[in-house]
Amino acid sequence: MDDDRPLFFHVMAYADDADRDVVDMVSGNPDWEPPRALREGLRAFADAPVADYQYPPSEGLSDLRDHLAAHHDVPVEQVLITNGAGEANHLAMACGLEAHSGNEVILTDPVYPYYADRAELLGADTTYVPVDADGRLDPAAVRAVASAETALVVACSPNNPTGAVYGETVKRELADIAAEHDALYVSDEVYAEFDYSGRFFSATAIDSEHVAVTNAVSKSMATTGLRVGYALLPDHLIDPAQTRHMLTNVAVTAPGQHAALRALRETPDDYYAATRDRLRERIDAFCNALEAAGAAYTRPEGAFYVLARFDGFPGTLANTKRLIDEAGVAGMPGEAFGDARADWLRFALVTPRAQEAADRLADYFG
């Protein structure tokens, strides 16, 4: 999957260079305001004492870990602050591969490409389980491929790119499958605040040594650049993950941790609710337009991506470019996410112009 990064940047650059106005739905960068308390936290840090500018504890600010432990109802020892969910996933995968037998990583197809690339970096084998037509993952399909070779099952829910929300049953079954094969289930819950189905279930509630949960404030607080995430680790992975984290990054940025802590403490539920409302509106507008355009699509239950397939217009790179040039809408080719949705296009609804993009697509395909 080494080619995905160039592909991603290639599409963004192509859209930037286009000779016309283009609605950018390529990246997963929120376009809405971060919580006020996050900006206030950074402002306050600007005047913080010198000591606050120095190394925070390698495992993260004590108050931030306490807050997250209470929020997720886990022992504080299990909380490791990381450089975004990216490092949390990296650590969970690297340490999971070392601690568990087998060398295989089970991933979904379509897949968030970073998982696949990390598996490759870590020298692991990958097995893909295709999701169903609605983007749902069938645990039985995972069970069918799992074996003594399996070290990791990595899945994201709410899901990027399908928008599926795996409910409690699915997550408990994935945890059971991991336990049966001495593997680790890594549950990436970075889109937890973007659940429109009411079915979101956090794997933190599963009492198992075979589950690690990753998360971040990146999406929930519209600040993918802050780089404050965390891993909630089973006991046997705490020391290895802390050591690897320390020897990779030493610590996570102090201003970001202070700002995230303040924002986590002070941001009212309204903020998240308003974000969901905004995205629901975009999803409705966009899906209605896809309907009008006669496209196949899955209405997301969570997160903020829509996968769509247009008849006679497979989601190749060439067609992605054609859509940029001829319709003024930039998405991501489905092939970036594996084979199962290679004919589809992914649109990220992180632009106030989602309605406009929808209209353009309806006009173009209608």
State the residues that interact with a copy of itself by CB under 8 A: 2, 5, 27, 29-34, 39-40, 42-43, 45-47, 50-56, 58, 83-84, 86-87, 90, 114, 117-118, 121, 222-227, 243-244, 246-256, 259
Work out how close the CB of 177 gets to a copy of itself at its nearest, in angstroms, rounded to a whole number. Answer: 25
Q: CB–CB of 102/295 below 8 Å?
A: no
Q: Is 269 exposed, middle or buried (0-12, 13-18, 19+ CB in 10 A)?
A: exposed
Nearer to a copy of itself (CB atom), residue 93 or residue 232: 93
Nearer to a copy of itself (CB atom), residue 117 or residue 284: 117
Nearer to a copy of itself (CB atom), residue 98 or residue 311: 98
Q: Considering only CA atoms, give the Rg of the chain.
A: 20
Nearer to a copy of itself (CB atom), residue 69 or residue 254: 254
Work out how close the CB of 4 gets to a copy of itself at its nearest, in angstroms, rounded to a whole number. Answer: 10
Question: Under DSSP, is residue 307 helix (H, G, I), strand (E, B) or coil?
Answer: strand
Work out how close the CB of 100 gets to a copy of itself at its nearest, in angstroms, rounded to a whole number. Answer: 18
Work out how close the CB of 2 gets to a copy of itself at its nearest, in angstroms, rounded to a whole number. Answer: 7
Interacting residues of 199 by C-beta distance below 8 A, sequence separation 6+:
165, 167, 168, 301
Would you give the DSSP letter of residue 95? H
Nearer to a copy of itself (CB atom), residue 68 or residue 348: 348
Nearer to a copy of itself (CB atom), residue 210 or residue 262: 262
Helices (H), 18-129: 36-46, 62-72, 84-99, 113-121
> Which residue type does 312 have?
G
Q: CB–CB of 70/219 below 8 Å?
A: no
Work out how close the CB of 312 gets to a copy of itself at its nearest, in angstroms, rounded to a whole number. Answer: 34
Work out how close the CB of 26 gets to a copy of itself at its nearest, in angstroms, rounded to a whole number. Answer: 12
Q: In angstroms, how far is CA 234 from the centroid of its own chain? A: 21
Nearer to a copy of itself (CB atom), residue 51 or residue 133: 51
Nearer to a copy of itself (CB atom), residue 33 or residue 66: 33
> Which residue type does 313 have?
F
Q: CB–CB of 198/223 below 8 Å?
A: no
Between the two ends of the chain, the Cα-to-Cα distance in Å is: 34
Work out how close the CB of 170 gets to a copy of itself at its nearest, in angstroms, rounded to a whole number. Answer: 27
Helix (H) or strand (E) holding 80: strand 79-82
* Cα–Cα distance, 321 to 103 (Å, whole number): 38
Q: CB–CB of 328/20 below 8 Å?
A: yes
What tokens were used for 65? 């870990």
Which is it for strands 104-109 and 23-24: parallel, antiparallel or unpaired? unpaired
Would you give the DSSP letter of residue 53? G
Work out how close the CB of 333 gets to a copy of itself at its nearest, in angstroms, rounded to a whole number. Answer: 19
With tokens 């649109």, the residue in question is 347
Work out how close the CB of 134 gets to a copy of itself at its nearest, in angstroms, rounded to a whole number. Answer: 29
Nearer to a copy of itself (CB atom), residue 90 or residue 171: 90
What tokens were used for 114? 């970073």
Work out how close the CB of 288 gets to a copy of itself at its nearest, in angstroms, rounded to a whole number. Answer: 26
Nearer to a copy of itself (CB atom), residue 222 or residue 287: 222
Q: CB–CB of 262/40 below 8 Å?
A: yes
